[in-house]
Structure 1
């Protein structure tokens, strides 16, 4: 079942960004990940605007694959640099429908 890693990042020191941006997608791909977006173009339609610089969405073949990416030894120094130079949240979410009424999604 597909799973999606959602990253919300507020950059506080951009020294890490160039290396991270250049290398991370290849590490994600190693685990079957495919970036769907990595964007700073965030428009708030409802609710409070997030205090964030960018949001990334990466599709993985499973939640296990997403976790394997996050725990990859090659990714570890990039993650540490990101954590030192930003505030953020990473979530893994599957493609289920909690209400079970959308016919093309698995029931959650």
Structure 2
């Protein structure tokens, strides 16, 4: 079953971004992930306002693939840099309509 990472990122420091992008694209692909969106062009239509400079959506072939990416030792220093240099939220969403 497919899973989706939905990530909001607002950099507070941009020093980490070049190295992050250079490595993370390959690590996502290594786990079978595919970027569906990486964009500053988004708008919130409902709910309490939650500003974010970027919204990212990654499609994963499985929950395990997403977790393997998140736990990859090569990703850890880049994750730490992103968390230290941004306000971020990452949601992992099962690709299933349980209300149908």
Q: What root-mean-square deviation, in Å, do the aligned CA atoms of Structure 1 and Structure 2 show?
A: 1.1
Moved over 4 A (4+): none
Residue in 2 aligned with 1:28?
28
Residue in 1 aligned with 2:73?
73
Gap runs ≥5 in structure 1 = 101-108
Residue in 2 aligned with 1:60?
60
Partners of 2:59 and 2:25 in 1: how far apart?
11
Which structure has more RCO (C-alpha within 8 Å, separation ≥ 6)?
Answer: 2
Aligned positions of 1:1-108 closer than 5 A: 1-100=1-100
Shift of 1:23: 1.7
Aligned residues: 100
TM-score, length-normalised on structure 2? 0.93
Gap runs ≥5 in structure 2 = none
